[in-house]
Chain A
């Protein structure tokens, strides 16, 4: 089972300051679920309306694909260092 990312870590370090920020992404999971529940009937109506134009499939699959994309971000890490400065963005 693919789970959405639960934590976003941002770490910034330079000569003067250094801080690490942990953003609890799991707190937005209920909101995402709520948005999905609210939007699903609208998406279904749009799909029915766009059926003659052949756009029903993309409309129906875009939501799940976006969700999969969001889940796949887990593990992404970007780190930039220059001498004593460093920026790290990590999704877990």
Chain B
């Protein structure tokens, strides 16, 4: 553990990774230790569930670099879905129709908090990394 931490700090001092990336890696290193206590609650061998959804957008323009960094707690997404589950059936139908009109074919009535837990667990392995010229978009969980 200490060796890994030192490697990350070395990479940071050499400028191979940014401070944000170093922070993320250090957080990932700490996760197994904190996940051990949570493991007894959620079952053996299960990974600790991610806490935050991160969206990072970086752009190196002519007028200088732009950076957008958003950190959304997973608990907020969970609470939002639970709140959405309380929407009455009629309203859900109307929402679905409007979404379909706009090309989004999602049945809001099917969004259930039980399914969301599996989805959030699956998100732990997800990382979207898109680079187009000077623009860089990353979506990941931590």
Q: Name A residues whose Cβ lies closer than 8 Å to a Cβ of B.
A: 2, 55, 57-58, 61-62, 65-66, 68-69, 71-84
Contacts and interface: CB of A to CB of B under 8 A. Distances in A.
B69 to A, nearest CB: 4
A74 B87 CA distance: 24
Interface in B59-117: 63-73, 75-76, 78-80, 82-83, 86-88
B69 A77 contact: yes
Given A55-B88, A58-B88, A65-B86, A76 B79 contact: no
Contact of B68 (A58, A76, A80, A84): A80
Interface residues of B, number: 23
Contact of A72 (B64, B67, B69, B73): B73
Contacts of A55: 88
A74 B74 CA distance: 10
- Give 6 nearest A-B pairs by CB, closest first: A83-B64, A72-B75, A75-B73, A72-B76, A77-B71, A79-B69
Contacts of B140: none
Nearest to A62: B86
A12 B71 CA distance: 18
Contacts of B52: 75
B63 A83 contact: yes
Contacts of B87: 58
